[in-house]
Chain A
Amino acid sequence: MIEIKNLRAAVEGKEILQGINLTVKPGEVHAIMGPNGSGKSTLAQVLAGKEDYEVLEGSVTFNGKDLLDLAPEDRAREGLFLAFQYPIEIPGVSNVNLLKNAVNEVRKYRGEDQLDAMDFLKMMKEKMKLVDMPQDLLNRSVNEGFSGGEKKRNEIFQMAVLNPSLAVLDETDSGLDIDALRIVANGVNALRSKDNAFIVITHYQRLLDYIVPDFVHVLYKGRLIKSGDKSLALFLEEKGYDWVKDHVDEFMAV
C-alpha cells in the first residue's frame, strides 16, 4: 500500500522528520503515537502534499507510484485521504458542492463517468448513515460554524464518500467527547476492509480502544523509535510521554 523510506522533511528550515521508515499493507491499521512536537502532524501533511514542507530526503511509494512526485489533488485521486486535525472553514462552498466536485474529479482522473445527481444523492444518503451526519450539515458551508465534533465527523464523512485506499487520520480524536469519539470510530470501523488501510495519528490511547490497531509506532523527535502491537499504546498510557523522554534508551530496550 505505502512504503515510506528514510523520509526527512523540514519546515522553514527546521528539520522535523529525521528519517521515517514505515510500511503499511492493505487491511492494516497503524497507530502513530507521540508527544507534542514529535512530528506527527508534519508526517500527515507531508504525505498529503502540503507545500509548506520541504522534503529533504527519502521516498514514499504509494500503490506503486512515487507519492512525493504527485500534486496534492493527484495523491487524493490515487486514493490517499487526510482527515485534517484542524479542518478548514470555506465560507460559501457547501459541503455537498465540495463532495460533488471531489467525487467527479476523482472519477474523471480514473477514467470513470461522472455520477449523475440521483446516484450521487443515493451515495450521500448511505454514507451519512455511517457517521450519523445530520442533513443540514450537508448544505452548510464547509466546516463554517461547525462544532469541533461536527468538523471531525465531517472529515470522516468525506472519507466515507471518497472511499480512499489509505486514510491518514490526524488527531481525529482531539477535542471529541466520548460520544463523538464513538461515532467517529464506528464510522472508521465500518469502512475497514481487507483492501484499505489506515494510519491513525493520536496523542492518546483512548481512541485505540475503539479503533483497534494492528501496529503501534512511537514517534519521537522525528523518528519512529519503537513499534509494537496494541499493548505498546497501553504501556505508553501507563508511563506517560515524559517518562519516555527521560528514559528513551530504556524504553527502546523494553
Chain B
Amino acid sequence: MSNPTELKNWYAGKFKKFEESLNGESMLSIHETRKAALEKFLELKFPTLKDEAWKYTNITPLFAHKFEDILTVKPSIKGVDAEKYLFDKKEFYTIVFINGVYVPELSDEVNEPGITLCNLKTALTKYTEDVSLHIAKFAKIENSIFTALSTAYINDGVFLKVKSGNTLSKPVQVLYVNSGGDNLLIQPRNLFIIGKNAQAKVVESYYAEGESIYFTNVVTESYVDQNGVFEHIKIQEESEKAFHISITEIDVEKQSKYSSYNINFGGELVRNDLNARFNGEYGHVTLNGLYLTQGIQHVDNQTLIEHAVPNCESHEMYKGVLDDQSRGVFNGKVYVKKDAQKTNAFQENKNVMLSDFARVDAKPQLEIYADDVKCSHGATVGRLSEEALFYLRARGIGQELAKTMIINAFANDAVHSISIDEVRRRIEDRVAVKLDKQKNEND
C-alpha cells in the first residue's frame, strides 16, 4: 500500500522512460502537451470522498497497486483470442488493441477521401495537424487528475475523422482486450471528429480474459460539427478485478446529434464521466447508460450536460440492476444557462436492487437559470415487482425465467434505441447471460 503522493511520483517517474520509448516522436508538438499535462498531474490531488464529485466513490484501493505503463513493460499480446470479441468483421471496421498494444493484423486502417480511421499512434505522425488541432482541447487537464495522467502519456488509441458531408459506410468497433499480466496501466486515448453534415457510429469495447488486476484509464474526445450525427456505444466488460476510469468529452455544434450508450458489465471499481456541451442551437444529445453489478463491483456514472445555448434537447436514461453487495452511483447534472431558452432536458435514473446488501446513490440534478424551458428529472430505486412476478408465474412461467424476463425488459429499455442491431442484440444477450450467472451463483 502506498499513499497518494507516492503513487503520483510513481506514475510521474515513468515519464523519462516513456519519452525514451517515443524515439523521434518526442519532437512532435504533442510532446509539449504531454509535458504540460505531467506538470498538471503533479499539481493536482487524487480526489477523496470530500470532493463532491467523488462523494460515493473511494479510490483508495487504487493506491494499493503500482501499475506499470504498457510502454515500459511491453506486455505480451500472444495467446489472446481477440477475434471472439469482434462483431461481424464484414459489417464493421475494426481497430484492435491487446493489453493496450495495437494489433495491425486485426485492424483496418482507412484512408479514403473524407474518412480517416487508424490508431492514434499512427495518426500522431501521419495526420499530425488534424490530431493536434483537437486532441486535449476538449478534455482539459485541469479538470481531472485522470485526464492529466492520460494526457501526459498520450500514446495510442483510436483516431477517426469523418470530413464534411461524408458518412462512414460501416460502424467502427474499437476493441481493447486485456489478458492480464497483472498490474498493467493501459491508457487508451480516443479522438472522434465528425465533420459538418457527416455521420458515424462507433462501438468502443473493453473485454478481459481472466480475472486479472489492471487499470484502464481512458479519455475519449468527441467533436460533432454542424449537422453531424454520431452514435457512440461503449461496452465495458473488464475483468471484475480491474479499475476502469473513463472520461468522455462531447462537444456538439449547431443542429448536430450525439447519442451515447454507456454499458457497464465489468470492472471492480468503475468510474465514467461524460460531459456534453451544446455549442450551437438545435443540438440533440442522448446519454443512455446501463450497469449490471454483482459481487463487490462499484460503478459510478457521472454525467454533465451543459445547455449553454437556446433550443437544444437532451435525453438521459440510466438504468441499474444491482446484486450482492455491489454499489452503483448515478450523479447526473443538467445545467441550463441563462441564455439557453427553449431547452428541453429530460433525465431519468432507475434502479432495481436484487439484494438487500446492494446499494445505489442516485443524485439527479437540474440547475436552471433560464425561464422558458422544459426540464424533468427523477430517480427510482426499487425491488423487482412482486406483482409482475406473480402474474408471469400464474401463466406457467418459472420464477427464474420470470425474473429474467422482467429485468431484461427493464434493462433493455436503455439500449433499445441503439441503431446497430447486432450490437443491441449482443448487449441484450449479455444482460441475460449475466443475470443467469448471478442466478446460478445465488443458488
Contacts and interface: CB of A to CB of B under 8 A. Distances in A.
A130 interface: no
Contacts of A102: 392, 395-397
Interface string A144-164: 000000000000001000100
Contact of B399 (A71, A91, A109): A71
B408 to A, nearest CB: 8
Given A90-B406, A101-B401, A72 B413 contact: no
B212 interface: no
Given A90-B406, A97-B405, A71 B395 contact: no
B405 A76 contact: no
Contacts of A84: 391, 394
B60 to A, nearest CB: 38
A34 interface: no
Contacts of B412: 92
Interface size on B, as a range, is 20 to 34
A162 B396 contact: yes
Q: Name the prevailing secondary structure of the B interface residues.
A: helix
A75 B406 CA distance: 21
A58 interface: no
B393 interface: yes
Which size class do A's interface residues fall under?
20 to 34
B410 A98 contact: no
Interface string B383-404: 0010110111111111101100
A73 B393 contact: yes
Nearest to A84: B391
- Name the residue among B392, B399, B401, B409 with the largest chain A CB count within 10 angstroms: B392
Given A92-B413, A93-B409, A98 B394 contact: no
Contacts of A101: 392, 397, 401, 405
A48 interface: yes
Contact of A158 (B388, B395, B401, B405): B395
Interface in A82-135: 82, 84, 87-93, 97-99, 101-102, 105-106, 109
A90 B393 contact: no
Nearest to A78: B396
Given A92-B412, A92-B413, A76 B388 contact: no
A98 B397 contact: yes
B132 to A, nearest CB: 46
Contacts of B390: 48, 50-51, 72, 88
B335 to A, nearest CB: 30
B69 to A, nearest CB: 43
A49 interface: yes
Given A101-B401, A102-B397, A90 B391 contact: yes
A77 interface: yes
Given A88-B387, A101-B401, A105-B401, A49 B394 contact: yes
Interface of B: 385, 387-388, 390-399, 401-402, 405-406, 408-410, 412-413
9 contacts: A50-B390, A51-B390, A76-B395, A88-B385, A90-B405, A91-B410, A92-B413, A105-B396, A109-B396
